[in-house]
Structure 1
Amino acid sequence: MKLAIFWIGTLAAFGITNGMIAQKEALIRNGTTIYLELRPLDPRSLMQGDYMELRYNLNDVSGMKKWRGHFVVDIGEDKIAKINRVFNDEELAENEHLLRYTNWSRGTRIGTDSFFFQEGHGNDYAQA
């Protein structure tokens, strides 16, 4: 009985992991590439090495009542997204897309908030 539970748990773990991998690969393959404007910030960590903390330009967004939701973004021809408003279940125009956000104590988060790079290569990313 214990062996059966072990194998069922193992198969479930592998199944869930492979499902998540397939979902991310489908997003990479079929998703839309967009770019967001960043605000300047220059962190450095002795324990973690060189990295760039990503702070997105979200100054003009109001109406974030929930701790988790979606922004409506307009994507220009240069693929740079401009955050329009908070999504409230309305119809989207053709050039509008949804971007998920989460409110934390340190601010609003969209995806990752840091980018690590090889030690000593900080000048390569200075203009970012």
Structure 2
Amino acid sequence: MTFVATAVVFALALAQDEAPDDDSAQPQCSDWSPRNVDTARGDITGAGRMKGGPYTACESVVWVSEGMEFDYSCHVINGYGTRWTYGRVAESDHWGWISAAHLHDQGSRIPCADATATAPGTGQRAP
């Protein structure tokens, strides 16, 4: 084995050892309880993927384009201090989370009640 190949194998082994043994470092994508308590609507300012939870690592729900309208339900601040708004793409059945950075007015001003309670995380309208 060459020196370069040995170094690569060693680096990969180190990186693997540094990975946590549990899910504590993983974002919580489904343990949120969004409620439809906001009646505001805003414009999406950049194309991207609406998410199933308030983290970029969460599964994608649907692709959204700049200029689409988004009906707000409520917002949360995730574990990284980033604000996300839950709602739906206007005139559609696509529900999910969009980062405040992708909404023209930073999204909903109304916090989701009991934002850390266990929820099914289905992306459907919450009660």
TM-score (norm 1): 0.30
Kindly name which structure, 1 or 2, has the bigger radius of gyration based on alpha carbons: 1
Bigger share in helix: 1
TM-score (norm 2): 0.30
Bigger share in strand: 1
